[in-house]
Chain A
């Protein structure tokens, strides 16, 4: 008797799994058949694939990006100049998942172009493949070096660290007359490591004396060893390439220790969360950003209020960059006049728009041309740094 029950249980477990697999397969096929949109006489229609980090530890980035895209999509389709259909796939922040998601979009869904993936590491895998297949791809959050250089079909509208960090260092030198700096960075994360490389190069170029270079790891909670050493060396500025969660703790501990020099951070440090976590200790953090929500521009204010109304929170730079990216795509699609990948790519390279991030154009390699805004935290809020 017991054996029979066991067998029934085994069989039902197997059967349910097979059923699940089968119905999943079916779903996929129907969605595959449903697409296949082409151009007609009037409006250019196109499928745009999105690879985004929607599940896992960095899901907040993917959520911000897809929110920004969806908001832009509604507005663009309502305008009626072009008709875009977004197909969003999850990459879970893993390279192999990002690649299969991109393969699915490029080959099964036959998208005109891709947006994403979220992380630079994922882009390093997806980029060459998309370039080989001739699918235009725009990174909205990939800030590491060498991304648009992957190929001529790869673009980005995210402000690279190579533009952001020198801008903020420049302003800080000007204001505080800094000569000696200490650098602190997370060495086990591609984002903070690449930010550090840029910081070091920028500091050397500006003729700053680098007193020390200290490292920390992801998830570290005690930075006293590094900070004590930095305090003893008495720098004029601290350059910190950190993500906001570690960065905020670093600032908190530094201020408690009596280090009151300003911090210059990279893109990952630029988040309102820093103020939430570190409170008063966050004062004196200088970052360069493409996105400033308080900017006195009707376009920006309209976006912020619409976004808040729809999602109940303030948009961050990732949402803003994604929003602009879809507008860039819409403009390119309109100019190309068809959803052919090559025509779209050529039109994309020529796009010039004024978005919520300001005037925008690509350089010859597909990288961004724009001037970042340098911000500083003062009295618990981001202000323009003069």
Chain B
């Protein structure tokens, strides 16, 4: 049973689910102020390339690379966020999409640094590095009855799990804080929010930058989990994939993008038994869902419904009047 569970195949999918959750959040956060950003793939690429190049050329530890990648993406988030403040809706989507493509074309053409479209291989792998560190301290996974590769994937999975749970917790807290309330107010009506004394410039750039940071962070993790990146990974398709996680799951509450990322990452794996038809089903489900539930699968009503079900069973609950996040 346990050996079945720590099958690297399942852990591998688990890792991609967790990375995709972070990516879905990177679209959700700007969207919660009404900014539709398609630059996630671009920021993800920035994070991935920064971290990969730093760890390869300067032999920095992965954690330094990941932090640097996240910060670079965040810096670009500010640079893009400020001039695009006045754009809304589809116009912002087009600008951010353009930004993502520019980033990709830079990766393709800056051959001396990025090796062009051939991509960068031999990026340090998080799990293998963890294993190495543990071995230096005299710890051997065999003593727990684990194979090396089981240990590698188990360690990545738990690391990512902790990170993702923390991020979800953080953004849930944020949405109930002063910042989150400001986001919600801006999302509902920008002018009204401004007249109430909310600094919309600050909060919109903040939300956009948070999105960029998240995408850059997920990108740098992606690079160290896959150990190989190429510009084709960060193309327009990736941006749309990430957007679909959020739109499919629902963009009103944080559980929407999380559910979308989990469900849409598992779906192609679960459908493997029908091989080449699986992406047809994937597409079909998205079409049906958008026709039936344009607001996404999970919204406030569903959350309240689930909560009421749970509390009816006599489970301890907080005050019902509290607005669901």
Q: Which residues of chain A from 7 to 58 have a CB within 8 Å of any chain B CB?
A: 7, 9-10, 13-14, 17, 20-21, 24-25, 27-28, 31, 54-56
B8 and A28 within 8 A (CB): no
In Å, the complex CA distance between A158 and B149 comes to 29
Complex partner residue of B9 from A14, A31, A108, CB under 8 angstroms: A108
Give every chain A residue within 8 A of B273 (Cβ-Cβ): 24, 27-28, 31
Whether the Cβ atoms of B9 and A95 lie closer than 8 Å is no
Interface stretch of the complex, out of B61-69, B87-95, B115-123: B115-123
Q: How far is the CA of A204 from the CA of B273 in the complex (A)?
A: 50
CB of B272 within 8 Å of the partner chain: yes
Q: Which of A54, A59, A125, A187 contacts B108 (CB 8 A)?
A: A187
Given A100-B16, A107-B8, A125-B228, A88:B118 Cβ within 8 A: no
Inter-subunit contact A194/B118 (CB<8 Å): yes
Within 8 A of B (CB), among A92-106: 92, 95-97, 99-101, 103-104, 106
Q: Residue B269 at the A interface, CB < 8 A?
A: yes
Question: When the two chains form their complex, are residues B232 and A90 in contact, meaning their CB atoms are under 8 A apart?
Answer: no
Interface residues of B in 102-139 (CB under 8 A from A): 105, 108-109, 116-119, 121, 125, 128
Does B275 contact A104, Cβ atoms closer than 8 Å? no
Q: Is A379 an interface residue (CB 8 A)?
A: no
- Known contacts A13-B293, A21-B266; is-contact A100 B118 (Cβ 8 Å): no
CA distance A31 to B270 in the complex (A): 13
User: Which chain B positions have C-beta within 8 A of A132?
Assistant: 128, 148-149
List 7 extra interface pairs beyond A99-B226, A132-B149, CB under 8 A. A13-B297, A21-B266, A55-B276, A108-B7, A124-B228, A128-B125, A190-B232
Q: Is B13 a contact of A100 with CB atoms below 8 Å?
A: yes
9 contacts between A and B (CB under 8 A): A14-B297, A27-B273, A55-B277, A55-B279, A96-B226, A97-B268, A106-B9, A121-B119, A194-B118
Chain A residues, Cβ within 8 Å of B302: 10
Query: Residues of A contacting B285 with CB < 8 Å?
Result: 17
- State the A residues within 8 Å of B (CB): 7, 9-10, 13-14, 17, 20-21, 24-25, 27-28, 31, 54-56, 59, 88-90, 92, 95-97, 99-101, 103-104, 106-108, 121, 124-125, 128, 132-133, 144, 146, 187-190, 193-194, 197
Residue of B nearest to A92 (CB): B279
Residues of B within 8 A of A146 (CB): 121
Residues from 193 to 251 in B contacting A, C-beta threshold 8 Å: 226-228, 230-233
Q: Count of A-B contacts with CB under 8 A?
A: 109
For the complex, is B161 an interface residue (Cβ under 8 Å from A)? Answer: no
Alpha-carbon distance between A190 and B231 when the two chains are bound, in angstroms: 9
In chain B, positions 66-81 with a C-beta closer than 8 Å to chain A are none
State how many angstroms separate the Cβ of A160 from the closest Cβ of chain B: 14
B9 touches A121 (CB 8 A): no
Asked if B227 and A100 sit within 8 Å, CB to CB, the answer is: no
CB pair B108–A121 under 8 Å, yes or no, is no
Given contacts A24-B273, A108-B9, A193-B117, contact A188 B231 (CB under 8 A): yes
Name the B residues within 8 Å of A121 (CB-CB).
Answer: 119, 228, 230, 232
Q: For chain B residues 1-33, which have a beta carbon within 8 Å of chain A?
A: 7-9, 12-13, 16
Q: Which one of A28, A107, A187 contacts B109 once the chains associate, using CB atoms below 8 Å?
A: A187
For A125, give the chain B residue with the smallest CB separation: B228
Q: Which 8 pairs across A and B sit closest by C-beta, in order of nearness? A: A24-B270, A103-B9, A54-B276, A124-B228, A104-B9, A103-B12, A27-B273, A107-B9
CA distance A146 to B293 in the complex (A): 48
**Is A103 a contact partner of B8 (Cβ separation < 8 A)?**
yes
Question: Would A124 and B119 be within 8 Å (CB), given that A9-B292, A21-B266, A190-B232 are in contact?
Answer: yes
- Which residues from chain B contact A106 at a C-beta distance below 8 Å? 8-9
A95 to B233 alpha-carbon distance, docked (Å): 8
User: How many angstroms from the CA of A103 to the CA of B272 in the assembled complex?
Assistant: 13
> Chain B interface: which size bin?
35 or more
Residues of B near A190 (CB, < 8 A) are 117-119, 230, 232
Neighbour of A13 across the interface among B128, B266, B276, B289, CB < 8 A: B289
Choose among A55, A128, A144 the residue that contacts B278 (Cβ–Cβ < 8 A). Answer: A55
Partner of B263, one of A17, A54, A124: A17
Check A188/B12 contact, CB under 8 A, given A21-B266, A92-B279.
no
Q: Is B271 an interface residue (CB 8 A)?
A: yes
User: Judging by beta carbons under 8 Å apart, are B7 and A96 in contact?
Assistant: no
The distance from the CB of A69 to the nearest CB of chain B, in whole angstroms, is: 14
With both beta carbons as reference points, the residue of chain B lying nearest to A32 in the complex is identified as B4
Query: Are A188 and B119 in contact, CB atoms less than 8 angstroms apart?
Result: no
B118 interface neighbour in A31, A104, A107, A193, Cβ under 8 Å: A193
Report the Cα distance A10→B271, complex, angstroms: 22
A21 to B125 CA separation, bound complex (whole angstroms):
31
Most buried by A among B116, B233, B278, B302: B116
A121-B230, A144-B118 known; A100 vs B109 contact (CB < 8 Å) = no
What separation, in Å, do the CA atoms of A24 and B263 have in the docked complex?
13
B117 & A187 in contact (Cβ 8 Å cutoff): yes
Task: Specify which of B128, B228, B279 lies most central, judged by the most chain A CB atoms within 10 Å of its CB.
Answer: B228
With a cutoff of 8 Å between Cβ atoms, the chain A residues found around residue B233 in the complex are 95
Contact in complex: A188, B117 (CB < 8 Å): yes
Question: In the complex, what's the smallest C-beta–C-beta distance from A240 to chain B, in angstroms?
Answer: 17
Chain A min CB distance to B264 (Å): 11
Known: A21-B270, A56-B279, A90-B278. A96 touches B16 (CB 8 A): yes
A125 to B266, CA, bound (A): 20
B8 touches A13 (CB 8 A): no
Contact A95 B226 (CB under 8 A): yes
Cα distance A189–B16 when bound, in Å? 25
Whether A128 touches B232, Cβ cut-off 8 Å, given contacts A24-B273, A190-B119, is no
A88 to B99, CA, bound (A): 38
